[in-house]
Every structure is written in structure tokens, then in C-alpha cells.
Structure 1
């Protein structure tokens, strides 16, 4: 699978702005379905889900694993607004600087089933199947790096992915970002892909959980809020967008034939169910800045 990379765009983006744009793509063309990845298809941040395999592969030290685990915890209980996403981006950029790209791809391939399989929402898989049955292409759109998003897209049977492109020199990550698939940049990349592939965005479908994806949702004729954060829920209500609740993880192997990948490692850790009160959540959000800042 080849990530669709739009032309050069600045990393800095307007987080939520939003006069509704006219629908792009090719009027009268075929519809497609665009899915955000984190907390829409899978229950975690894809960028942080691989922290333990990266530790096992020698890319991370124990302190970095703990920091990424804590960031994941905050992401799960409250989502991430623009400021938190920017801090996450800076943290992850620092974390991967100097890593060999081929090593990352190897670890992702070896651990993909163990890491992603338990995290995928049954409801999302059903929607993907329904769109394919209706003849619509399915595109995953994620701010995570292409080296993670492409294999996940292949695992799920997506027809294409739009993902962030990290800067690489001499086979290593530099810490820079050539294209950040986030906020308005997602909508721009979708419109460029729609022109190339002949999609009519007015007839297409979009799914996301986050207010930071409001540009993407507004760019498409049939937007849906999935497990929405507070701000996106408000916008969905104001605009009459359907609100979907995804809550059932599924074992993909029991539902669909999975593509062949290289051998997997043993499962790395069991998840722990945590009941979190409002006070714990607020305290966690305040501490996240210190955790990501190191």
C-alpha cells in the first residue's frame, strides 16, 4: 500500500477554524469513505500503541515507555485537543529522532497483529465491510506516521491511507515532519486524493472522534462523529450530524481473512480496565504537559 502524499504543506495548521468549504473532488464521481484511525477504528493512539515493542527492539528506554504509556492513558480517558496534540507531536518527534526507518518497519510488521488486533472496534470493521460491499473505497486518514498507518490499513483492507510523512536522511528519522496529516491538512490531502481518484466528496462519508478533525468532516457530504469529544459532540448536534458509539473490540482473525505478515511476537501486555473519576482526569491532563516535556 502506498501512502498518498499531497504536495508540500506547512506543519502549522488552524486547529478548529471553520467556515464550511464547498465539497471538492469530482462532482458526479464515485463516493468513498474516510476514517480517522485513533479512537475511531482503534481504541488507542496508534503512535503510542507500539511503545512496548519499540522498547523490546531497543529503540526506547524504560523512561520513554513510561512517558508514552502515561500519555496514552490521558488520551484514552479524555482525548486530545489541539494543544495536547501539538505536545504529543513534539514528544513523538523527539522520541524517534535517530531511529532507523527499516528497524521501525520491521518491528511494526512483527508485532502488528498482537498490538492492533485487540484494539479494533467491531462497529468500525462492520462499517468498513458495508462501504466495501456498496462499492466505496475506504481510506484511513491519520496523523500517525506512514510506517505504522500503512500496515494497519493493509490489515483492515483499506484501499488507501493518508498519513504523516516523517523526515528521513540516510535511513534515519531526523525529528522533522515533511507532511503532518492533522487538522486542516487532512482535509487538503483528502481533496487532492479525491481529484486524483475521481471521488465525489459531496456523496462521500467521513468518521472521526475529535474536534481537531472538524475540517475533514466539513469537507465531506456525510460526516459522522464517532465517540466524539465534548466540542465535536456540540458541533455534531448543531449541524445534525449522526453520532455513533463504538465500544466493542473485535478479534479480526475471527471476522476477516488477514493479510500475510511476518511472524509475530508473543503478546506484550494485558490491558487493565480503569475507572477514572473527573478529578483524576483533570489532574492527569495537567500533569501530561510535564510528562511530554520530559
Structure 2
């Protein structure tokens, strides 16, 4: 990480910061994976997904896995622990309402959340924030995860594939959500720390848009994944770079721009917010059968939730 810190402190172009954010996130994800050393997933006999040893799945978080934004839930939890003022919470609430109603992310809101978060954690111990995040997301993951997407995550795990969360949320939050869902690991935004204390700076930039694609590419290189056999799931047009990297892109709860782009590309669309059926176009038969099985599980989960 020393080399990464030196690169962060230097003046870098946007493309260099994007690449640095991706490498830092992949590095953090691999270190966490080695530290926890999870047991390999055993595939079930009836798994429908293609059996390929270099296949994996990548899931966006906000509005793809979680109903709403992880950073908002983190903000509310930190406010309850006296990290924020009422004014800060009012601003976060407006940003969350925008995200839920507009179905898209506002870059100004993202930048504002980044600035506030970094200023608040500067000087605090990483272990303390990780413990707080564990408390905050213990109930959030249970209450706010889309049942349909949870079923898709489990489908890939049951097929013996590695499954990764990819999010602009801090890596500490990303790891907790991924662990709660039984995922292999997580790629998230890396906040710089020295001797276990946050400096108030990022390593590169937020893991957003092209930076997510850079992180997935970096992790694929390290884990020897074949992106042509991998799948990716997202709700946002900001993640088109990540979705375009893999052989099997899937669109979940899409914003308007991504829905339009997905239709033009022939990508499969599933909307768990309205119960609309997926658009079954342009997907290889084996993957289509696997995704259909996941959608069926999702439908059962949704009906149970309504009852």
C-alpha cells in the first residue's frame, strides 16, 4: 500500500486516478479474501449456469441489491452515533429521496457525500469504523435487500461461481454486505489510512462509473477470471463500462438511460420494483435458463414477502 499512497499524493490525471482506484479496490478485496479464507462453494447438481472454472458474477449494490443507497443508511447510522448534525442528515435524506424517485444518481450528490464522509472519518481508527458499520448493516441487509436479486446471487453461488459486490460505498461497508449475502468478496471505495487511522483522502477516486470497470478488470487479472464467461448486474447507466466488460450483462431495476441502452444492446432486463417480466433477448440459452430459474425463485420470494 505504500506505493499506492505515494501515487495518491501525487498529481494524477482523471484516467490515472480511475486506474488507481480500481487497483486499490482489487488489492483490498484480495487481502480481505486471504484474511477470511472462505471455504469453496460446492455447486449443486441442478445449477443451470454454464460450468466454467473462470466464471464469476459482479453485482452493483445501490438499487440493484439494496433498496436505496448504502451510503444513506451509513449516514443515518453514523448520525445516531453523533457523527453527523441534523443538517447533514436532512441533506442526505434529500439525496436519498432523489435517488429513489428519479431512479438515477446525481454526480453532485455523490461528490457531496464523498466530501462529507472523508471529513468525518479523518483521524478516526479504521477498526472503530468497521465495528460501527457491522452494527449498522446487520439489520439493513436483512430488511433492504431485494429478494429477487438475492435469489440471483444465490443462483451463481449454487453454480460454484465466485460472486463479487462492486460498489462506490466504502470498502468497509461493501465487505459487510457481501459477507451477509454469502458472496465471495467485495470491491468498494478505498479510503487512505496510515497506521490504522484514516487520513481523510481517497486512494485514487470513488469506485464509480469507469472506476468500477477498472476494479473488475484488475480483480479478473489477479483471480485469473475470463470476463467473457462472467456476468454483471446493475441498475445504472453509470455502470455501462462494467456491464460492457463481461460476456453476460444483466440489467436490474434500471434507470431510464440504462433501460434504453439495454434494449438497444439486447441485454436482459429484470425489474423487481414492478414485477415486469424480463426481456428475453440476445442471451445464450444456457445462461437464459439459469437466469429464468433465478427469476422464478425471485418471484416466489416476492410473493412470500407480500403475504
User: TM-score normalized by structure 1?
Assistant: 0.71
| 1:34 alignment partner, SS class | strand
Report the CA distance between 1:8 and its aligned residue.
6.3
2:201 matches 1:199: no
Unaligned runs of 5+ in 1: 15-27, 249-254, 256-294
| 1:176 alignment partner, SS class | strand
Residue of structure 1 in register with 2:63 after alignment: 39
For the Cα contact (< 8 Å) 2:190–2:202, is it kept in 1? Answer: yes
Q: Matches of residues 110-259 of structure 1 in structure 2 within 5 Å?
A: 110-169=135-194, 171-179=196-204, 180-247=206-273
Report the CA distance between 1:99 and its aligned residue.
3.9
Residue of structure 1 in register with 2:14 after alignment: 12
The whole-number CA distance in structure 1 between the counterparts of 2:161 and 2:128 is 34
The whole-number CA distance in structure 2 between the counterparts of 1:29 and 1:178 is 31
2:106 matches 1:106: no
Task: Please tell me the root mean square deviation across aligned C-alpha atoms, in Å.
Answer: 2.5
| 1:92 alignment partner, SS class | helix
The whole-number CA distance in structure 2 between the counterparts of 1:34 and 1:136 is 11
| 1:199 alignment partner, SS class | coil
- Work out the number of aligned pairs and report it: 231
For the Cα contact (< 8 Å) 1:11–1:177, is it kept in 2? Answer: no
| 1:163 alignment partner, SS class | strand
| 1:158 alignment partner, SS class | coil
Kindly tell me: are residues 150 and 11 of structure 1, through their superposed partners in 2, closer, same or farther at Cα, counting changes over 3 Å? farther
Residue of structure 2 in register with 1:57 after alignment: 81
For the Cα contact (< 8 Å) 1:29–1:198, is it kept in 2? Answer: no
User: TM-score normalized by structure 2?
Assistant: 0.68
Higher relative contact order, chain-length normalized (CA < 8 Å, sep 6+): 1
The whole-number CA distance in structure 1 between the counterparts of 2:138 and 2:162 is 23
Superposed CA deviations along residues 238-269 of structure 1, whole A, max 9, x for unmatched, are 10111111239xxxxxx9xxxxxxxxxxxxxx
The whole-number CA distance in structure 1 between the counterparts of 2:210 and 2:225 is 19
The whole-number CA distance in structure 2 between the counterparts of 1:81 and 1:205 is 26
Kindly tell me: are residues 244 and 42 of structure 1, through their superposed partners in 2, closer, same or farther at Cα, counting changes over 3 Å? same
Kindly tell me: are residues 125 and 191 of structure 1, through their superposed partners in 2, closer, same or farther at Cα, counting changes over 3 Å? same
For the Cα contact (< 8 Å) 1:184–1:215, is it kept in 2? Answer: yes
Kindly tell me: are residues 43 and 194 of structure 1, through their superposed partners in 2, closer, same or farther at Cα, counting changes over 3 Å? same
The whole-number CA distance in structure 2 between the counterparts of 1:132 and 1:112 is 22
Report the CA distance between 1:56 and its aligned residue.
2.1
Kindly tell me: are residues 229 and 82 of structure 1, through their superposed partners in 2, closer, same or farther at Cα, counting changes over 3 Å? same
| 2:155 alignment partner, SS class | helix
Report the CA distance between 1:151 and its aligned residue.
0.8
For the Cα contact (< 8 Å) 2:157–2:183, is it kept in 1? Answer: no
Unaligned runs of 5+ in 2: 17-51, 275-300, 302-307
2:125 matches 1:85: no
Residue of structure 1 in register with 2:93 after alignment: 69
